[in-house]
Amino acid sequence: MKGILSSIGVVLLTFSFANAQSKQPNIIWLVSEDQSPEFFPMYGDDTVSLPHLSQLAEDSVIYDNMHATTPVCSPARSAIITGMYPTTLGTHNMRTYNEGRDRNQPQLGIPSYSPKFPDYIRPFTAYMREAGYYCTNSNKQDYNFKISDDAWDQTCRYCAGEQKANIHWRNRAEGQPFFAVFNFQITHESQIWAQHNNKRYVTPEEVNNIPPYFPDDPIIREDMAINYSNLVRMDKEIGAIINELKAQGLYDNSYIFFYSDHGGPFPRHKRAIYDSGVKVPLMIKLPKNAKAGKRNDDLWSFVDLAPTVLQLANIPLPDYLQGMSILDKDTKPRKYLVTASDRFDGQVDRIRSIKTKRYKLIKNYNVSLPHALDVNYRKKMPMMRRLIALNDKGLLNKNAQRWFDTPKPEMEFYDLKKDPFELNNLADKASYNTKLRQFNSLLEAWISDTGDLGNVPEQEIIEYSIN
């Protein structure tokens, strides 16, 4: 298909250099699946004790405005590994590439395919390996396109037990710098029902953080209690890694990142363009705990992770990167940030949002669909089934009902300072018309400048990718 990736442009691979460092540091990523900041003590929640993460937070800089590029896993990870927006790459639809499968969404006639983009766009870890780093990715390799063989020294699509434990920095050559990613699946959406019959570390009655878009219902409390219990399990896993780093004398002089791949595991979190779906926790521990206890409220995106790590490793930054280094003192804060959602499993619903620290515009392209998309996988969760049942009986309150309403508004505009849960749509208020137009103009400019492929039929992208 002629020009489908004209959005990327013809880019010459030139480089800009970070300030030289005499030694390449070790860098560790601790990645929680499916979690929002609101569930963690360092962001104000006191429902459950997470001693290892809390100690790491005391040693770290805490970021209050980190965002996934999209509120679901594989498209978001494509941004992380490339430093580019999924909407530019063609990786914006959920599970385009499903390793080991010929078909992805049979009900839509969509095969498993890897979107085609120029060869010079590479996983940032390939540059790290060329610079001498030992790079490991311990469960899971799910980046929405076929990862090249030069991305990792050790990785796996999904693995457990001895295979998972063996993906580790310990396998590097003596003195070799390393970049190690550990993904914690215990907090994944699926674990809400998978852990249903297992030990609870908090009772439903002890849950004190029921957001206003959920009814205060026993089943809602039950599932939230399971999530908090899963966080305790994750905290223990993180503690084991941190203790190993300390035992090997690696903790003090390493960079340690903790973040989540998108918002929480619940309805109106995961797959939702609201901040509950795209805002994620981020903590960065610097060597010798420099700047420990400080907080940062600048707007950050997943496209910023790749340039941050490359700069820390003293590796040239490719010009095609669409993000910027979080830790570069010369980085100028964003004035606004864009997130996107498109296809989730068999449901297609193109939505774009643009936000500043104060205001947020959501633009819905398919108003006939509710925000509560009919995703079969999510119906395994008791909370989701309960919300559907209450909605069918007309028993949801106004805040909860809005998620199911059709048609949904073409425009949603929120004052995040006054309305952090994004419940009071100001788009129809005449006093906000000027701001609404400004935000929409900025969004349309971003769509044009980044070559957003959201309006290209996926079948067209597939044909281009496989031919």
- The CATH number of residue 415's host domain is 3.30.1120
Note whether 93 and 343 are within 8 A (CB): yes
93, 231: one domain: yes
263, 400: one domain: no
Query: What pLDDT was estimated at residue 139?
Result: 83
Note whether 133 and 177 are within 8 A (CB): yes
Task: Examine the pLDDT at 144 and tell me if it is beyond 50.
Answer: yes
Mean pLDDT of 33-57: 97
Note whether 40 and 50 are within 8 A (CB): yes
Token pair, residue 169, equals 């920095």
Token pair, residue 65, equals 């405005």
Mean pLDDT of 426-435: 98
381, 438: one domain: yes
107, 185: one domain: yes
Q: What is the pTM of this model?
A: 0.94
Model confidence pLDDT, tens digit, residues 80-90: 999 999 999 99
Token pair, residue 72, equals 């679901």
Please identify, among 307, 335, 363, the residue that sits at the C-terminal boundary of a domain: 335
Note whether 288 and 252 are within 8 A (CB): yes
Q: Characterize the bridge pairing of strands 15-16 and 134-138.
A: unpaired
Confidence of residue 149 (pLDDT cuts 50, 70, 90): very high
Please identify, among 301, 335, 369, the residue that sits at the C-terminal boundary of a domain: 335
Which backbone phi and psi does 64 adopt, to 5 degrees?
-95, -5
Please identify, among 286, 310, 335, the residue that sits at the C-terminal boundary of a domain: 335
The reply to whether 16 falls in a domain is: no
412, 440: one domain: yes
Residue entry with tokens 């959501």: 362
Range 154-177 burial, b when 16+ CB lie within 10 A, else e = bbbeebeeeebeebbbeebeeeeb
Task: Examine the pLDDT at 277 and tell me if it is beyond 80.
Answer: yes
Distance, in Å, from the CA atom of 239 to the CA atom of 149, rounded to the nearest integer, reads 31
356, 322: one domain: no
Burial of 442 (0-12, 13-18, 19+ CB in 10 A): middle
276, 387: one domain: no
The reply to whether 176 falls in a domain is: yes
Burial of 381 (0-12, 13-18, 19+ CB in 10 A): buried
The reply to whether 11 falls in a domain is: no
146, 267: one domain: yes
The reply to whether 157 falls in a domain is: yes
184, 244: one domain: yes
310 strand-pairing partners = none
Range of the domain at 352: 340-466
The reply to whether 13 falls in a domain is: no
291, 395: one domain: no
What is the four-CA torsion angle of 234, 129, 69, 381, rounded to 10 degrees?
A: -30
The reply to whether 213 falls in a domain is: yes
The reply to whether 9 falls in a domain is: no
Distance, in Å, from the CA atom of 370 to the CA atom of 157, rounded to the nearest integer, reads 33
Distance, in Å, from the CA atom of 306 to the CA atom of 284, rounded to the nearest integer, reads 14
Q: How many domains does the chain have?
A: 2
Query: What pLDDT was estimated at residue 11?
Result: 33
Mean pLDDT of 328-341: 96
42 strand-pairing partners = none
308, 366: one domain: no
The reply to whether 6 falls in a domain is: no
Q: What is the CATH number of the domain that holds 295?
A: 3.40.720.10
Query: What pLDDT was estimated at residue 105?
Result: 83
Query: What pLDDT was estimated at residue 140?
Result: 84
| SS3 of residue 154 by DSSP | strand
Model confidence pLDDT, tens digit, residues 81-130: 999 999 999 999 998 998 878 888 878 889 999 999 999 999 999 999 99
Which comes out higher in pLDDT, residue 155 or 12? 155
Report CA-CA distances (Å) from 159 to 58, 76, 164, 165, 233: 32, 21, 5, 9, 18
Q: Is the dihedral of CA 72, 74, 77, 82 positive or negative?
A: negative
Note whether 133 and 178 are within 8 A (CB): yes
Distance, in Å, from the CA atom of 344 to the CA atom of 99, rounded to the nearest integer, reads 17
| SS3 of residue 237 by DSSP | helix
396, 299: one domain: no
- Active site residue ranges: 73
Q: ∠248-249-254 over CA atoms, to 5°?
A: 110
Determine what percent of the chain is predicted with pLDDT higher than 70: 95
